[in-house]
Amino acid sequence: MLEEGLKYDEGRQPWYAMPLEVLKPLADVFAAGEKKYKIFNCLKPFEDSDRRFYDAQMRHTEACQLDPLAIDEETGVYHGAQAAWNALLRIHNAKKRMEENTTYTKAIVNPLSVNGVKQPVQTVLRCLAGQNNCDGDPYDQMIAAADYIDQLEMKIKYLKEKENGIES
């Protein structure tokens, strides 16, 4: 009897249970997009992507609400498949934004910096509160706000890692 081979695929993306015939209409949407735009245009960044892909998803959902086999006249593909495609692009773009953003804090110009450098809000708050003769409640509140922002970012980072299966 032959010894069985080793395959280290635990925790990897399972694909076997996904019937490709179900995805054919989605492949048609990708092909229509290649003709209309360019191959892989959908992977480029888009300004206000969440709102734009959501709007398109809802337009296509409305078009197939009463007829799941409704065809888009412009592309010749199912409106339902286009709705699904736009939902997937919303997920894709949201995940890309999460991967690219190491901080969720808005960067603002630090008025104390020589070159007008943009820094995270909490850094600017600490710089302003740390100046000479800056004592009392307003300055203490600035420090407390900066600490709170840091705590929120740590929670976001933890939840993001947990979602991606990374334990600290």
Per-residue model confidence (pLDDT) at position 21 = 93
CA–CA distance, 149 with 139 (Å, rounded to integer): 15
Three-state SS sequence of 139-166: HHHHHHHHHHHHHHHHHHHHHHHHHCCC
Q: Is the pLDDT of residue 99 over 80?
A: no
Residue given tokens 């296509």 in the structure block: 60
Q: Decide which of 162 and 20 is more confident.
A: 20
The single-letter DSSP state of residue 42 is G
pLDDT band at 167; cut points 50, 70, 90: low
Per-residue model confidence (pLDDT) at position 26 = 96
Percentage above 90 pLDDT, the chain: 33
Per-residue model confidence (pLDDT) at position 62 = 97
Q: Where exactly are the structural domains of the chain?
A: 20-100, 107-163
Per-residue model confidence (pLDDT) at position 102 = 55
pLDDT band at 79; cut points 50, 70, 90: very high
Sign of CA dihedral 128, 131, 133, 139: positive
Per-residue model confidence (pLDDT) at position 85 = 96
CA–CA distance, 9 with 121 (Å, rounded to integer): 43
What is the chain's mean pLDDT, rounded?
Answer: 86
Percentage above 70 pLDDT, the chain: 93
Average pLDDT over residues 146-158: 84
Three-state SS sequence of 64-83: CCCCCCCECCCCCCEHHHHH
Q: Residue type for 165, please?
A: G
Cβ burial of 67 (10 Å; 0-12, 13-18, 19+) is exposed
Total residue count of the chain as it appears in this document: 168
pTM of the predicted protein model: 0.57
Decide: helix, strand or coil at residue 89.
helix
Cβ neighbours around 81 below 10 Å, total: 23
pLDDT band at 17; cut points 50, 70, 90: confident
